[in-house]
Amino acid sequence: MRILKRIFRFYYEGFKTMPRWGKQMWLIMIVKGVLLFVLVKFIFFPNHLKTNFETDEQRSEHVINELIKAAQNDTITTEH
């Protein structure tokens, strides 16, 4: 537990003594990271299973079938 406290103090002191422009840069990087995560998560990776299947059973069957297909394709390509 002491190591976590020392790590926290290290970063806390670093941010406390950081110049104003450095704090602003960190804020910009955090906002940019959050926006990038939201963009990637919700726009590029929509919830395919929720929109195309109604029940959890249908979703699980689809996932199992896709995993089986992928495993079969891997064994076919590695045999040649």
Rounded CA separation 72/80 (Å)? 13
Same structural domain, 57 and 71: yes
Provide the domain limits for residue 53: 46-80
Tokens standing for 7? 């790590």
pLDDT of 67: 93
Same domain, 41 and 70: no
The backbone region for 55, taken as left when phi is positive above 0, alpha when psi lies in -120 to 50, beta otherwise, is beta
Distance, in Å, from the CA atom of 77 to the CA atom of 80, rounded to the nearest integer, reads 6
Residues 2 and 32 grouped into a single domain:
yes
* Sign, Cα dihedral of 19, 21, 26, 27: positive
pLDDT average, residue stretch 38-46: 84
Average pLDDT for residues 31-47, to the nearest whole number? 89
The rounded percent of the chain whose pLDDT value lies above 70 is 94
Question: Does the pLDDT value for residue 25 go beyond 60?
Answer: yes
Q: pTM of the prediction?
A: 0.52
**In sequence order, which residues have a C-beta less than 8 Å from that of residue 63 and are 6 or more positions away?**
49
Amino acid 68: pLDDT:
93
Instruction: Read off the tokens for 29.
Output: 């990087």
Q: How many domains does the chain have?
A: 2
Q: Which residue has the higher pLDDT, 1 or 68?
A: 68
